[in-house]
Structure 1
Amino acid sequence: MDLSQQEWQDQLKNDENAVVLDVRTPEEVEEGYIPNATNIDFYLGQEFLTEVEKLDKDKNYYVYCRSGNRSGQACAVMNSVGFKNAYNLEGGFMKWEGDVIEE
């Protein structure tokens, strides 16, 4: 499910069962990331799926990438393997105005 930047931020703030998932490359993550994000690179393909399947399917996943494209695909993959709540950040990290941790 796609959420606007504001919806994503508001929902995340009030969600005690939330996991922030960054699906960008390690190089992109070095440019900064949303606090408490777990990074699993979507471009790893099968390894991405292997890592995702280790995650707790009962949690709510707030997924982002650079522009919102990869994270949308990642949410679809997650849904296909039984994740019920995967939320895509529309516009991705490029449009993010919340807190950022810089390396």
Structure 2
Amino acid sequence: MSKLASVISVSAPYYLGLLQVKMDAESERYAVYDRNNLSLVSAGIRPESGILKVLLPLKYTLDTNLVVGILDNDKVYASKFIDGVILESVDSTQVDMSQ
């Protein structure tokens, strides 16, 4: 007779920073920079829903070192950037990332 062992998988919490941005309908792209060294942290196109959700390193939940901006491809509107953004700490195994 064979014995089968049941395996139970438990996901431990894995905390990251959550950036959520309600992007303007005229914006097509976003960019996120680390203010300390101006390195690009994240960039991309506007989701169809207009609600951007990006998981970033936990260190950005502890300080105000992010600069977040939105841009349009046609250069009709002035780009908008906000300085001193701090992220919400979330358990990445539980957060709803649906757009």
Q: TM-score, normalised by structure 2?
A: 0.27
TM-score, normalised via structure 1 length: 0.27
More strand, by proportion? 2
Task: Report which of the two has the higher share of helix.
Answer: 1
- The structure having more radius of gyration, on CA atoms, is 2
